[in-house]
Amino acid sequence: MIDHALKIEKIITLINVILLVFMILMVFVNVVLRYGFNSGISVSVEISSICFCYGFVILEA
């Protein structure tokens, strides 16, 4: 039983890390595009916010 709990904890941690990395990449790419090329990804802020919220929801589960 404890083995299953550790596997679930590792999966949850992996999902949170993936969401965090994706969020950081989206914000970084948007900043580079906005300041370097005067354009940007219009939904990057919303996607980053969703990743942040779902990261906390998954973490609390």
CA angle 29, 31, 36 (to 5 degrees): 95
How far are the Cα atoms of 14, 17, 44, 48, 54 from residue 22, in angstroms, in the given order? 12, 8, 10, 8, 12
Measured in Å, how far apart are the chain's first and last C-alpha atoms?
18
pLDDT computed for residue 30 by the predictor: 87
Q: List, for residues 20-57, the tens digit of each pLDDT value.
A: 888 888 889 888 988 988 887 778 888 888 878 877 77
Asked if residue 16 lies in contact with residue 55, where contact means CB atoms within 8 angstroms, the answer is yes
Q: Which residue has the higher pLDDT, 36 or 59?
A: 36
- For the entire predicted model, the pTM comes to 0.72
Question: Residue 4: what pLDDT?
Answer: 82
> What are the structural domain ranges in the chain?
2-60
The secondary element (H helix, E strand) that includes residue 26 is: helix 2-37
